[in-house]
Structures are given as C-alpha cells and as structure tokens.
Amino acid sequence: MSSSYPYRRLQEKLGLDQPLPWTEHWSAAEDFLLLIAEHCLEQQPARILECSSGLSTLVLARCCQLNGQGQVFSLENGEAFAKASRDNLNALGLENHARVLHAPLEAQEVNGRTFQWYKLPAALPEDVDMLVVDGPPGFLQPLSRYPALPLLRDRLANGCHLFLDDAARDDEKTIAEAWCREVPGLRHEYLELQRGCAVFVLP
C-alpha cells in the first residue's frame, strides 16, 4: 500500500482487505468519513440519503453491511460519476447496500431564489434517518448546497442527523445560519475537522 494513501485508519475501521478507491480532489477527507462511519455504526440508521456519491457511498454501504441493516441512497448528477460509484460498490461486494441514483441538476426555486439542484427521482425514500450533504459542488453557484434541507425536509424523519461537509467555507457557514433560522428547534454543532463539518439534528 502506498505511503501516501490517506485512508488507512478508515480502511482498518471498516475491516476492508483492500484500499478504498479515492481521488485527490473529489474524495471527502478521512476525518469526515470516520465521523459519518462512527455515527452509522453506532446509531444504525435504516435509511441514509446523500447528496453526491463517491467514497462516502462506499463507507456508508460498508457500515450498513456490518450493521446487518440499512440502505444508502445517493443522488449523483454526473452519469460517469454514478457509474464509477456503482462499479466501486460492485468491486467491494457492497452493491446490495447502496443505490446510486442519477439525478441531473435542474433549475429549482427555493425560497425566492433559483438554484441548480438535483432532480429528485421517484425511488427516493421517506423517513430518512441520516442525510449527508457533500454536493452539488460549491463552484457551480453561491450557496450551492442550501436547497438540501428545504427540498428534502418532508422526507426526513424526526431526529434525523444531517452532516454538511466543507463547513469551514463561508458559503457553508451562511447555509448553516439560514437553516437554523428557518427550522425551529434545529440543533447545530460545528466540528473542527480538516474541512469543517456542521452537524444538525432535526427536532
């Protein structure tokens, strides 16, 4: 294994024999992936939804496999990325624990503003216990990930835990403030991870 491989602790925690496939510029940082893995292993959510697929999909699917329950649903706007995620799931024997759903970006109005955001597929679950927001990419538009909570709120179970990656960025800080204003009783904690993480718990 290469000495530059950055996910050794994560691989060991998940009990995987082979290195996790990752990309330098797109994969989430190890500390964020360890955080969501620990939550998934401890709380054993039944339905997990994530905005953007990739290494996090493999991590969460492996946690569901270890838990003996749970299913991951990943929204992915890029067809090539969706295929790569599915191929990686198959290579690790995790295809029964996650579904990567192609969800092209389309113009959607949210609270008076227009965003390019995922077209929600019919296969999306209800009563989601865990939501991971790591897309769409921030360079697409200001506050790119803001629509996640307003547009998915009706699908989230009471007490759902929401993890917002890259929360050290100014846009994500603004998003966190907006969500807390708009959802009464929403609990929020900022964690000093490599790229920052905001954790929310729905009332």
Give 156-170 pLDDT, tens digit per residue.
999 999 999 999 999
Question: So what's the pLDDT on residue 182?
Answer: 97
Does residue 173 form part of some domain?
yes
Q: What does the DSSP 8-state code read for residue 27? A: S
Q: SS3 for 101?
A: strand
Do the beta carbons of residue 97 and residue 121 sit within 8 Å? no
Does residue 2 form part of some domain?
no
- Domain with 36 in it: 32-201
Q: The domain that contains 67 carries what CATH number?
A: 3.40.50.150
| Residues of the chain by 3-state class (helix, strand, coil), percent to 5 | 35, 25, 35
Number of domains in the chain: 1
Does residue 4 form part of some domain?
no
Does residue 17 form part of some domain?
no
> What would the pLDDT profile of 37-71 be if each residue is shown by its tens digit?
999 999 999 999 999 999 999 999 999 999 999 99
Does residue 25 form part of some domain?
no
Assigned token pair, 8 = 């050794």
Q: Which residue has the tokens 């959607």?
A: 108
Q: Which residue has the tokens 């998934």?
A: 40
Alpha helix positions (H), 44-77: 55-67
Confidence of residue 2 (pLDDT cuts 50, 70, 90): very low
Q: What is the pTM of this model?
A: 0.95
> What would the pLDDT profile of 100-126 be if each residue is shown by its tens digit?
999 999 999 999 999 999 999 998 999
Share the mean pLDDT of the chain.
Answer: 95
